[in-house]
Amino acid sequence: MNIQWMAKNLKNRIVLSSGIISYMLLLLWRIPLSRVIGDEGVGLMAPAFEMFVLTTLVTSYGMSNAMAGIIRYRVKRERYRNAGKVFKTAFVMNLFLGTVMALFLLFFSSWTAETIALERLSRMAVMAAAPSVFFASLIGLFRGYFNGYGMGVLTAHSQYIEKTAMFVGAILGGRAFYGYGQKVAALLQVEAHSYAYGALGAMLGVFISQVIAVLHLILVYVIYAGAFKGRPGQDNSRRAETRFEIQRMLIVNMVPLAAAAVCSNLFMLADQRFFNHCMNMTEQGNVRTAQWGSFYGKFAPLIGICAAFSCLFVHGLTGKICSAYEREEYRGMRERMGRAVRNASIVSFPAAIYLAVLGKPFSTCCYGRSTAQSAVLAGWLSKGAVLAALFTFCFLFGQILYKLRMTRELFLTSAASLAVHLAAAYFMTQRGHMGVDGLLCALILFFGIYIVLSFVFLNRRIKYRPDWFAGVLFPLGAAAVSGLVVYLLNLLLSGVAGAVLCIVISLPVGVFFHILFLVILRVIGETELQEMPLGFLFIMLGRTIGVF
């Protein structure tokens, strides 16, 4: 029974955490892609992919969530005719938005590449992003429709299909076009053209993934459409809502959410421009694309995957916190909030410390061997690993703000954090010529401001007082001590074992000591350990040393 419960619980978590796992896949494919088209190719693809992400935050995220909420409200009250009208109205609006954004990228690709990103050879990749933006708007429509009718499982399946297709398509497309680009580069005697074509192929792979996702969603829509044919006859709508009323509701719900999402993700595109300008000013323009490709294709995915893994342990609690608040169960809400903060600390602190300590083995794995650039990447990881922990708390507080419908506060938090980040990045790169180090400082400021503001807004609403010792300081101390163990073990093994073996041995040992110290400090008890794999081992150790 216990195994069956664990299997069912795992299946539910995979569905409920589809957004986070999809995000991990979205980051993961950049690492093997950089082995195919080189860091230069990833650096040229970066502005195109960021443009694609930013536009889909409006069409595939903002509109999708807005229409899902409006449809859900009507479906619960059996107003199916009005719910259908919401879908049709959103379809026209989102299709218009997607078309306009796609045409903008298509006709202004040169201006976007040269002026915004300062990467002239990114033009072809930006053009290839245009059709992807159009199909992404269709994806957002169908996902919003399914979520509105309470069929989130279908949305989760489509996310996995899309990201898996993107993973495979980008790598295969990059490989095919990179080979063609090498011939063009040999003909024109300009090596950079091979990387430009590799970036083009990767973005065409992204386009193919969007087409596959749309076809899957259309098929599912056709299959399930029959299940709703009888519902309009059971309609309880008192009146038919006008198209203008629905458009107004969609805009009012979509704009703040989309604006907050764009502000939360705009920093990467802006940072590339700051970095490229800084490298040009310091007469290092010949290596800027490769360095940004390493930052975007290796550093950012490693930090992002580490942070997303930590978010998996707090994601499920955000919904329970908001449900308890809506039921006015304030004591239970604060207990869950404390547990969420503690979980974030327990997982994100050691994850960030281990990533910093094992920066050299991870960078060696990314490049396949120890090189000068892998040493640079290891330095970035040691300095910027703290971003993984900061991102986890940003995710936790941001999700609660969103689920408590505090959209205005969410937008103010994102906008203020972005403004501080842009100002800091500008002065550190344009005035101080600090390069990536300046960007890392600016990113730490971004996430730090986000955490402070979101916590202040939440505290005003839910009156939460954190337990700083059990919730933050004790997990940080346990993570620091276990990180020292990992550091010493890695130092011992680095001379006799490869990078992969160092990681495989050091990480489990570090996790073991981290949990042991948490048990000794009484941060976690028997109840939590019983839910963990091999938790019985720590229960036995705890009883042996007299903790339990």
Token output for 441: 């400082």
Token output for 237: 């709508």
Please write the tens of the pLDDT for every residue from 420-470. Answer: 999 999 999 999 999 999 999 999 999 999 999 999 999 999 888 888 998
Token output for 142: 């169908």
Please count the helices (runs of H) and the strands (runs of E) in the chain: 24, 0
In this structure, what are the phi and psi dihedrals at residue 231, rounded to the nearest 5 degrees?
-70, -40
Q: How far apart are CA 351 and CA 313, in angstroms?
A: 12
Token output for 245: 């009323």
Per-residue model confidence (pLDDT) at position 50: 97
Of 408 and 548, more confident: 408
Element (H, E) at 80: helix 80-107
* SS3 label, residue 79: coil
Q: Name the pTM for this structure.
A: 0.93
Per-residue model confidence (pLDDT) at position 5: 47
Q: Give me the helices (H) in 233-385, please.
A: 243-265, 267-281, 288-294, 300-326, 330-357, 359-367, 372-384
CB 297 within 8 A of CB 37: no
Amino acid at 322: C
Per-residue model confidence (pLDDT) at position 6: 47
Q: How far apart are CA 336 and CA 462, in angstroms?
A: 12
Q: How far apart are CA 29 and CA 159, in angstroms?
A: 15
| DSSP character at residue 62 | I
In this prediction, residues 286-299 reach a mean pLDDT of: 95
Q: Which of 13-27, 131-145, 455-469, 495-509 has the highest mean pLDDT?
A: 131-145
Q: Is the dihedral of CA 334, 336, 338, 341 positive or negative?
A: negative
Per-residue model confidence (pLDDT) at position 111: 94
Residue 402 pLDDT > 70: yes
Per-residue model confidence (pLDDT) at position 3: 47
Q: How far apart are CA 542 and CA 408, in angstroms?
A: 46
As a whole-number percent, the residues of the chain with pLDDT over 90 amount to 73
Q: Is the dihedral of CA 102, 107, 111, 113 positive or negative?
A: positive
Degrees, nearest 5: CA angle 114-116-117: 70
| DSSP character at residue 29 | T
User: For the chain, how big is the Rg over CA atoms in Å?
Assistant: 24
CA separation (Å) from 332 to 153, 456, 473? 28, 20, 23
CB 185 within 8 A of CB 192: yes
- The candidate with the shortest Cα–Cα distance to 175, out of 292, 47, 34, 289, is 34
In this prediction, residues 383-406 reach a mean pLDDT of: 96
Q: pLDDT band at 1, cuts 50/70/90? A: very low
Q: How far apart are CA 73 and CA 160, in angstroms?
A: 27
CB 475 within 8 A of CB 310: no
Please write the tens of the pLDDT for every residue from 329-362. Answer: 888 999 999 999 999 999 999 999 999 999 999 9
